Chains A and B, each alone.
Chain A
């Protein structure tokens, strides 16, 4: 069963426009949620994480994500994107145990 679903494989957006990258997960138990970013020819870097507490989490570069338990979603948003945000974004879930489950990724392309 698919644990993490990223609904959009490619998202083109104009510079300074807002963007939302969608992520839904399937789990009936508590989860930890992560967003990773991958720039070309590099490994994945942690963007932000939800472990517990406030359902809205923010990163240092303007991204934010909101944990919505009722909708089992953890969508990533940014109010105004920059060219440098062009990258592949992966949503990941970790449940009890030792394994992470990654979505198939969303390729964000920021158009000048």
Chain B
């Protein structure tokens, strides 16, 4: 019963390098999210997805791209890493309640343990 799994857990990059963070969930959740957590700023939403093949921008999407090719996976990519992207990244997923009018999911999110990314 893994829940939400993030890989890798730690990574150090040089400025300009690219990398992909992987998030996998085994709960058959429709919604998936990527956040970054920085001191004094709480969690800020980068991108999210409401289903396989869909993505949408969150609060701080610049410098990141995402893909949701499979329902269980949500990838976060940094094409050209910058020191300002040093952060702890969290993936989350949640279940959608269907048949209740407009899409209003009141289900809580389930979080992974985070990926600590440092960019030098």
Q: Which stretch from B12-20, B40-48, B60-68, B77-85 is at the chain A interface? A: B40-48
Q: Are A100 and B109 in contact (CB under 8 A)?
A: yes
Q: Which of B48, B112, B113 makes the CB contact (< 8 A) with A98?
A: B48
How many B residues have CB within 8 A of the partner chain?
Answer: 28
**Which residues of B approach A to under 8 Å, CB–CB?**
4, 31, 33, 35, 40-45, 48, 50, 56, 58, 90, 92, 102-106, 108-114
How many Å lie between the Cα of A41 and that of B50 in the bound state? 27
How many Å lie between the Cα of A40 and that of B79 in the bound state? 29
On whether A34 and B108 interact (CB within 8 A), knowing A96-B102, A99-B45, A103-B42, the answer reads: yes
Q: Which of B92, B104, B110 makes the CB contact (< 8 A) with A97?
A: B104
Q: Are B114 and A43 in contact (CB under 8 A)?
A: yes
On whether A45 and B50 interact (CB within 8 A), knowing A100-B33, A104-B41, A104-B42, the answer reads: no
Within 8 Å CB of B108, what residues of A? 34, 46, 49
On whether A9 and B56 interact (CB within 8 A), knowing A42-B113, A43-B114, A98-B103, the answer reads: no
Within 8 Å CB of B44, what residues of A? 102
Q: Are B105 and A98 in contact (CB under 8 A)?
A: yes
Q: Are B42 and A99 in contact (CB under 8 A)?
A: no
Q: Write the nearest CB–CB distance from A56 to chain B, whole angstroms.
A: 18
Q: Are B109 and A32 in contact (CB under 8 A)?
A: no
A-B contact pairs, 30 of them (CB 8 A): A32-B106, A36-B111, A41-B113, A41-B114, A42-B114, A43-B4, A43-B111, A44-B43, A44-B90, A44-B92, A44-B109, A44-B111, A46-B108, A46-B109, A46-B110, A49-B108, A51-B106, A90-B42, A94-B105, A94-B106, A97-B104, A98-B50, A98-B56, A98-B105, A100-B33, A100-B45, A102-B42, A102-B43, A102-B44, A103-B42
